[in-house]
Structure formats: C-alpha cells, structure tokens
C-alpha cells in the first residue's frame, strides 16, 4: 500500500491569520500549501469579470465547471494582483454558498494532497475536504484586530479602505460564511481552537509544528504503510 500523506487543516474566519500561519507552517515542515479561499476567489473574480449574476445557480455551476477544466485560467486568476480585493472576497463568499459550486471545486482541492504533506487553510478543510487530517486547527481573532490586519495588508499592497468599511465587510462575510447551509464555517469537533489576537504568526506556526510532530508519533497518517 502507498504511503498515506499527512494533512494539517487551518480553518477560521476572514483575516484571522490562517493564511500566514499555514504558509509558515508549510515552510517549517517542508509541506505543500493549499489556500482554498483563492480557488473561491478565482471563481468570484471570473464571475465579476464576466458580469454574471452571483445568485444565478446555473451560471455559477457552469463557471465552476469551466474553472476546474481550465487549469491555466484558474492559475492566472489566482495570481491576479486583485485576488485579495474585498469585492472579490464578497463575490467568492456569495457563490461559495451554492452546493453545486462547492461540489465542483471539492476534487480540485483534494488533488493538492501530495507527499510529503499538506497544510490546507479555508472554512471547511477540517470538516469536509480533509476530515482525516492529523491536526485540525480553528483559528479566530477579535474582529477589531482582524480589521486592523486586513487594513494593514491592503496598505502594503497599495490598496485602500477605511477601517470602518473593512470591519463591516468582515462582519458581513463572517455572517454569510457561518450561516449558509452548505459547509458553513464551523470548528470541527476534533479541532484545536486557538485565538490568535495576541500571538504572532511565527509563534503560532512553530507551536503547531511541535504539536504536529508530537501527534505524528501516534498517527498512521504520518508513516508509510508498507508496499
């Protein structure tokens, strides 16, 4: 039997720091990294560019299918300088509520699972996409701190926005992501719940690397199972 590939999932609301922690953790462990939000954002961006109504389920299903079949389009959208825009995040959040869109994008996320391991961040990584993850984290932070972080990120990218607008966007997106029927933002029952308000991403990532290594000694998902 082939070796099983270990997964670490980090879920949480927007701007909770999960993307930065996931990248650092992947770097520390030499693992691959999946930012699943970017896939939903790419779909949101394509819908905006194509002037499609985000609540038209048939159009959104077609669009998700097109993205899955066109790797080059997906990758160029994911690398667009505007992928982090709030408008793109809001569009992503709207189409992410459609069951068929989520079903179409699910296999694409799972194909990112390659040796030696994967750190995946998003909203449903631990609950739906990788339910067998060795370590599941649910990362939160105070909403004022999240708004401050997002504001700083926008400044660094030369984009602008008032703290009040960012706060309201985050609150709207939290509500939309948590209240939807399909794969709502929710901590997996077996996840570690961490509040990142007072921690640096470096502190968190190195603590999680230690937790992962400790868990690995007990998990069949960390070791080859023989040929």
Residues engaged in binding ligand C5P (CB under 6 A): 14, 36-37, 40-41, 89, 92-93, 96, 122-124, 173, 177
> From CA 22, how far away is CA 31, in angstroms rounded?
10
Measured from the CB atom, the residue of 118 and 177 that comes closer to ligand C5P is 177
CB of 22 to ligand C5P, least distance (A): 10
Helix (H) / strand (E) containing 205: helix 201-216
SS3 120: strand
DSSP 116: T
Measured from the CB atom, the residue of 20 and 93 that comes closer to ligand C5P is 93
CB of 98 to ligand C5P, least distance (A): 10
Measured from the CB atom, the residue of 42 and 205 that comes closer to ligand C5P is 42
CB of 227 to ligand C5P, least distance (A): 34
Task: Please tell me whether the peptide bond between 116 and the residue prior to it is cis, using omega within 30 degrees of 0.
Answer: yes
The answer to whether 30 is a known ligand-binding residue is no
SS3 92: helix
Contact 82, 88 (CB under 8 A): yes
Measured from the CB atom, the residue of 41 and 149 that comes closer to ligand C5P is 41
Sign, CA torsion 128/191/175/77: negative
Contact 185, 102 (CB under 8 A): no
Measured from the CB atom, the residue of 134 and 139 that comes closer to ligand C5P is 139
> From CA 3, how far away is CA 221, in angstroms rounded?
8
The answer to whether 164 is a known ligand-binding residue is no
The answer to whether 13 is a known ligand-binding residue is yes
**Count of all residues that appear for the chain in the document:** 227
SS3 41: helix
Measured from the CB atom, the residue of 107 and 224 that comes closer to ligand C5P is 107
CB of 3 to ligand C5P, least distance (A): 26
Tokens of 151: 């504001």
CB of 215 to ligand C5P, least distance (A): 22
CB of 38 to ligand C5P, least distance (A): 6
> From CA 217, how far away is CA 62, in angstroms rounded?
44
Binding-site entries for ATP: 12-20
Binding residue numbers? 12-20
């Amino acid at each position: 039997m082939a070796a099983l590939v270990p997964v670490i999932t980090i879920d949480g609301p927007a701007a909770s720091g999960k993307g930065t922690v996931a990248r650092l953790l992947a770097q520390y462990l030499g693992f691959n990294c999946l930012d699943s939000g970017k896939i939903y954002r790419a779909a949101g961006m394509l819908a905006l560019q194509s002037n499609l109504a985000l609540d038209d389920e048939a159009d959104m299903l077609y669009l998700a299918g097109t993205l899955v079949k066109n790797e080059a389009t997906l990758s160029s959208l994911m690398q667009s300088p505007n992928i982090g825009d709030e408008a793109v995040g809001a569009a992503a959040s709207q189409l992410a509520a459609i069951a068929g869109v989520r079903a179409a994008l699910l296999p694409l996320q799972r194909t990112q699972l390659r040796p030696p391991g994967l750190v995946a961040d998003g909203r449903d990584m631990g609950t739906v996409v990788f339910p067998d993850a060795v370590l599941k984290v649910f990362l939160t932070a105070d909403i004022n701190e999240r708004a401050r972080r997002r504001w700083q990120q926008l400044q660094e990218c030369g984009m602008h926005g008032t703290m009040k607008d960012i706060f309201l966007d985050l609150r709207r997106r939290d509500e939309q992501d948590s209240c939807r029927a399909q794969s709502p933002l929710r901590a997996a029952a077996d996840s570690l719940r961490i509040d990142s308000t007072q921690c640096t991403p470096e502190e968190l990532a190195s603590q999680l690397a230690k937790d992962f290594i400790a868990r690995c000694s007990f998990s069949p998902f960390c070791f080859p199972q023989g040929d």
